[in-house]
Chain A
Amino acid sequence: MMAGPASFLKTAWTVLREVSGDAAYENYLTRHQERHPDQPALDREAFYLSELDRRWSGVNRCC
């Protein structure tokens, strides 16, 4: 890995996008094209809604 403030900021930005779920759709698309190139992928909105549904069906927040 490169040293220096620019690469640090870049890493921080990547981590922030991954942790927050901002990059989730891109990750999904990459994966979808790899695994099921023949099937149509969900659009952004449908993917977002299905992600929320999945995430909020169990305990995911504590006191």
Chain B
Amino acid sequence: MPKSIQNLIWIAIGVFGAACLGGIAIHRGETINAFWFIAAAFGIYAVAYRLYAGWICTKVLITDPSRATPALRINDGRDYVPTHRWITFGHHFAAIAGAGPLVGPTLAAQFGYLPGTLWLLTGAVIGGCVQDMVVLWASTRRDGRTLGQMARDELGPVAGGAALVGTLMIMVLIVAVLGLVVVNAMKHSPWGTFTVAMTIPIAILVGIYMRNIRPGRVLEGSLIGLFLLLAATAGGGWVAHHPVLGPMFNYEGTTLALLVIGYGFFAAIMPVWLLLAPRDYISTFIKIGAILLLAFAVIILRPELHMPALTQFTDGTGPVVAGGLYPFLFITIACGAVSGFHALISAGTTPKLIMSERDLRLVGYGSMAMESFVGVMALIAACVLDPGVYFAINSSAGIVGSTLEQATATISSWGFPVEAQHMMDLAKEMGETTLLARTGGAPSLAVGMAQIFAGAFGQSLLALWYHFAIMFEALFILTAVDAGTRVGRFMLQDLLGNIWKPLGNTAARGPAIICSAVFVASWGYFLYIGVIDPYGGINILWPLFGISNQMLAAIALAIVTTILVKKGQARYAWVTGLPMVFLAITTSYAAWLKLFDPDPRVGFLAGANTLEAKLQAGTLTGKALESAPHLIFNQRLDAGLTVFFIVVLWVVIIEMARISIRHLQGKPVPALSEVPYVNEATLPHPTGVGGH
């Protein structure tokens, strides 16, 4: 096809995508069809991938297919394996996609469908995808070095240390906040709790199968696990209604929190093959399956969205996440738009599989575009709900009142009419006793998905779909809890090994148990406090997680910006520099508000002071009185943590600026750690895997 016609086609796709987005933005009807969102997303991703990512690869990164990648040069058959680009894409996508892109957009739906959609699309194509691809490129040129190592090599020990400690704290918050999401979904839900509990023996069974019965047959094992899990999900309905078994799985949030904490520790000290690895295999299959199912639901069924384009909560009074549209939309939706955590995957694991620099665009930019699309689908599923129902599920009792009548009256008074009877019927349809105040996003996404599916497959399966959705979210959240605790333990050992050498020995049993316990206690603390918080905990933990994740993104972008400057590409440094500046300003502003905003729901210090005043005035009773001292201490601790994140961020940014300026002035800087060019043709014939 002639070049001009090709270009015309791309321009047409771009215009179509932009037109759909424009249509979404100016549309002011009762409802809007999901089709416009899908079309806008595809159009924008396609054009950005083809033109912007293509331009970055050619002009900024100057990717060179003749340059031998570490997988080709080292090719040890274990870590370094040249792999077909679609298989690497699969590995990479499975690694980066988790619960994050499902939860964030669901919470951000409180602002209406428009802000979330715009940020998911623009954030991804200009920020997140660029970050993932450029970090992947930088690490591929450095034999797959990790982000922390690259920070140390390129920016020096100060920035390297800051990046390392910052990453460890993020791990603590990620595990805590995801644990909270799963606790809120299981609270007083015997069906949900039973299904989630069953994942543990099922994983162990599969673990034994994959190790002892049919070693290494991971497809067979996963298939058996999948079947058992679906059976457990269906059987959960029977268990929940059983007079003896039902109450055995009916727990308070605090009990569940302690169980999750105990589980986290147990999973961390078990051998990997027994629990962690089999759970991860099953969860990866379910994750991909659920995403395909969700895609089928929104693309084929194209439901109508009932949420308005913008709600009054853009002013900062929102019941789901407190704080105004700027900066809090950009903190609430981290994964799906820009997620700093991806930089840890893009540097380290994936680069060792890259067969040719030609594949960087598909693996780096492409998988993030796909994750962003998962975020768009989650947003659609949340906005399909009646807004009144959405707010009833996602608002905590501390805001709307704890009884059904109070809650529905409060939400109706906001202009989102919802009846108590309707909420009761809906809960019954979903096989639950109540859906009120199930904060954290997972339950409302599950209701949204259940409603979309019921539209296609009949109303009778509503409860099953709901619990299937809860089960898959819980499954990969618990995988993240396991994997996060393990990685956190390694990082902690790495760090403490500098102080006292024996603690750094990752193979020894003692230090592993001690460091696992310390790490579990750290996230367990935040999880427990989140559960006893009458405002739902998510309101505090999710923004803190968002700030830390976006801070890590800014750090990753700062590292690659320095690399670009040192490579003599300063005139293109804006490609990573611009998103870095935006994220640095946004997270710093959000941190400022979280510290000093006078609204006790937004500012940590104001929150602590208000509660302290209430405590001293003696207006608190019962549970609120009991938890108040903990909550006061916790809000001050959160404030300290926020300061810590901001200090880490600016240390790295100042180092980046200092090194870049020194380089431009011709002064000595740490040398570029890129490995020298080797022509791919000079290597012995590679034995790659996968069809090529």
Interface residues of A (CB under 8 A from B): 11, 14-25, 27-28, 30-32, 34-35, 43-45, 47-49, 51-63
B272 at interface, CB cutoff 8 A = yes
Tell me which residues across on chain A come within 8 A of B344, comparing CB atoms.
59, 62
CB pair A49 B211 closer than 8 Å: yes
A61-B87 in contact given A11-B691, A18-B689 (Cβ < 8 Å) = no
Binds A, one of B10-18, B78-86, B153-161, B241-249: B78-86
CB pair B84 A63 closer than 8 Å: no
Tell me which residues across on chain B come within 8 A of A58, comparing CB atoms.
146, 348-349, 487, 490
Cα of A21 to Cα of B506 in the assembled complex, Å: 25
Binds A, one of B217-225, B530-538, B650-658: B217-225
CB pair B95 A60 closer than 8 Å: yes
A-B contact pairs, 16 of them (CB 8 A): A15-B691, A16-B219, A18-B690, A19-B87, A19-B94, A21-B218, A34-B687, A52-B277, A53-B272, A56-B276, A56-B277, A61-B480, A61-B483, A62-B98, A62-B339, A63-B98
A20-B281 in contact given A25-B216, A31-B77, A61-B98 (Cβ < 8 Å) = yes
Cα of A24 to Cα of B101 in the assembled complex, Å: 30
Cα of A51 to Cα of B216 in the assembled complex, Å: 10
Chain B window 268-288, contacts with chain A (Cβ cutoff 8 Å), 1 for yes, 0 for no: 000011001100110011000
A63-B219 in contact given A49-B211, A58-B490 (Cβ < 8 Å) = no
Cα of A19 to Cα of B92 in the assembled complex, Å: 10
Using CB atoms, name the residue of chain A closest to B342.
A62
CB pair A14 B211 closer than 8 Å: no
Cα of A44 to Cα of B487 in the assembled complex, Å: 26
Using CB atoms, name the residue of chain B closest to A43.
B215
Cα of A55 to Cα of B483 in the assembled complex, Å: 11
A24-B216 in contact given A18-B689, A61-B483, A63-B98 (Cβ < 8 Å) = yes
Cα of A22 to Cα of B218 in the assembled complex, Å: 5
Question: Which residue in B81, B285, B345, B490 is a CB contact (below 8 Å) of A62?
Answer: B345
Nearest first, the 9 A-B pairs at minimum CB distance are: A44-B215, A48-B216, A45-B215, A19-B90, A63-B100, A61-B483, A22-B219, A59-B344, A31-B77
Size class of the B contact interface (CB-based, 8 Å) = 35 or more
CB pair A63 B335 closer than 8 Å: yes
Using CB atoms, name the residue of chain B closest to A31.
B77
Tell me which residues across on chain A come within 8 A of B100, comparing CB atoms.
62-63
Tell me which residues across on chain B come within 8 A of A62, comparing CB atoms.
95-98, 100, 335, 339, 341-342, 344-345, 480
CB pair B77 A20 closer than 8 Å: no
Cα of A21 to Cα of B342 in the assembled complex, Å: 22
CB pair B79 A54 closer than 8 Å: yes
The count of A-to-B residue pairs whose CB atoms sit within 8 angstroms is 120
CB pair B339 A59 closer than 8 Å: no
> Which residue, of A22, A32, A52, has the highest number of chain B Cβ atoms within 10 A?
A52
Tell me which residues across on chain B come within 8 A of A18, comparing CB atoms.
83-84, 87, 689-690
Tell me which residues across on chain A come within 8 A of B40, comparing CB atoms.
none
Using CB atoms, name the residue of chain A closest to B273.
A52
How distant is A28 from chain B, measured CB to nearest CB, in Å?
6
CB pair A15 B86 closer than 8 Å: yes
Cα of A11 to Cα of B610 in the assembled complex, Å: 62
Cα of A41 to Cα of B341 in the assembled complex, Å: 37
How distant is B223 from chain A, measured CB to nearest CB, in Å?
10
13 extra interface residue pairs, beta carbon distance < 8 Å, beyond A54-B79, A63-B174: A15-B691, A18-B87, A23-B689, A24-B216, A45-B211, A51-B78, A52-B272, A55-B277, A58-B349, A59-B487, A62-B96, A62-B98, A62-B342
B212 at interface, CB cutoff 8 A = yes
Question: Which residue in A20, A57, A63 is a CB contact (below 8 Å) of B490?
Answer: A57
CB pair A63 B339 closer than 8 Å: yes
Cα of A54 to Cα of B281 in the assembled complex, Å: 16
How distant is B688 from chain A, measured CB to nearest CB, in Å?
10
B172 at interface, CB cutoff 8 A = no
Cα of A15 to Cα of B100 in the assembled complex, Å: 26
B479 at interface, CB cutoff 8 A = yes
Chain B window 331-343, contacts with chain A (Cβ cutoff 8 Å), 1 for yes, 0 for no: 0000100010110
Question: Which residue in A21, A31, A47, A56 is a CB contact (below 8 Å) of B272?
Answer: A56
Cα of A43 to Cα of B216 in the assembled complex, Å: 10
Cα of A44 to Cα of B220 in the assembled complex, Å: 15
B91 at interface, CB cutoff 8 A = yes
B187 at interface, CB cutoff 8 A = no
Tell me which residues across on chain A come within 8 A of B218, comparing CB atoms.
20-22
B360 at interface, CB cutoff 8 A = no
